Every structure is written in C-alpha cells, then in structure tokens.
Chain A
Amino acid sequence: DSGVTQTPKHLITATGQRVTLRCSPRSGDLSVYWYQQSLDQGLQFLIQYYNGEERAKGNILERFSAQQFPDLHSELNLSSLELGDSALYFCASSEDPGQGLYEQYFGPGTRLTVT
C-alpha cells in the first residue's frame, strides 16, 4: 500500500459526459501528479500540483483540468468525454516540488471506460 488513495476505482460513462477523479496524497506529500495510461501505451504525464499551485503541465487536453485543494487532495476533471479517453488514470504523490530524486508513490488508479 503506497498511502495514495484514488476514488472511484472504476467509472463507466457515456461520450460527451463529464467525470471527476479524486486523489488523496500520502501524508506529508505536497506534490500530486496525474498520469494517463491507455491500453498498450506507456504512462503519460498530465499535470502536477505542488501545495495548491500548478507546477508542471504535460500532455493534458484542454477538455481536462485539475486542481489541488487546501487539504492537498486533488481532483482531475474530464469533460466532453470521447471513446479515446478510456484509460487508467493514476495519481502519484511526492515530497518533491519538482521531479527530482524523490520517490513518486502511485495510487491504485481509476479505470475509466467511455461507451
């Protein structure tokens, strides 16, 4: 158990809909990262927050947005969903404000299926 929690575990929704994925980091970690892992593809970095502020942006679509709240939990919002958005979405947390030598601890993931 990494100490990172994600909810829900599974999510099935229709095209055009909007969903929110939630992540609680390990106690004491200020950084939260979101990743997307599509079938047969590697992990893609989406976005990082550090202590409530956006720190780095990766391959995140404009239809997607995220935020980190004062209690450090984070939410990833996916809107106008398309079939291609079906994937595993992972959250990771770290003490590190950047992506230096600190470990990133990954949550169990949310499996999103868009039908």
Chain B
Amino acid sequence: KNQVEQSPQSLIILEGKNCTLQCNYTVSPFSNLRWYKQDTGRGPVSLTIMTFSENTKSNGRYTATLDADTKQSSLHITASQLSDSASYICVVNAMEYGNKLVFGAGTILRVKS
C-alpha cells in the first residue's frame, strides 16, 4: 500500500491560472515533508521542505501547506507558466524507517498556452 498518495494523477491548466496539488500520507511519525519538481527525463529538484511543526512554506510562485493532524499537504502554484509543466512529487521523511524518504507517484502537470 502506497504510504504517500497524490492527486490528481494528472492535470492540464491554461497558462496564467492557479492550481493546487494534493498529497495524503499515512507515514507516521515523520520529520519533514518535501515537494520536488521533476522535468521529464531529469532528476528531481527540491521546491520546499517543511518540518512537522510548519504549516506553510513558499518558494516564489510555489506555496506548500501541511496539516499534520489530517496528514495532508498541498502545493499551490500561482500564475502558472509553460515551464511549470513537470511532475510534482510529494516526499515524506519516514522516521520509522531510519529517516528514509518515501516518494509519492507524482502529479503530472501540463500548462498550455
């Protein structure tokens, strides 16, 4: 059973629009939750890292939120650009497994003009 589930699986939006990606996790306890952006065929790049005590963190047009009580996180992208087209991966640092990263399957975002 996947311990980190993301939705939607894929999403198409128009350039300039906002969108929100969801991440639900069952990993517990955890020390931090990360969001990565992965362009096709390339390595993931970190967007945000939040500890369990943080509720929100921003990185430019990207804003991540975390609700540790409901075990949910979201990534909000503002004023989308064509270059935002990528896979967005939610990752939980699972303390139970010796601080190993547990990856979600990702949400594939396509921004079209």
Q: Residues of A at under 8 Å CB distance from B?
A: 2, 4, 40-45, 56, 58, 88, 90, 92, 98-101, 103-104, 106-109, 111
Contact = CB atoms under 8 A, between A and B. Distances in A.
A107 to B, nearest CB: 6
B13 interface: no
Given A99-B101, A100-B32, A104-B46, 16 more contacts: A4-B43, A42-B89, A43-B103, A45-B101, A45-B102, A56-B98, A56-B99, A56-B100, A58-B100, A98-B98, A99-B99, A99-B100, A101-B51, A103-B46, A108-B42, A109-B41
Nearest to A33: B101
Interface residues of B, number: 23
Interface of B: 2, 4, 31-32, 41-46, 49, 51, 89, 93, 98-106
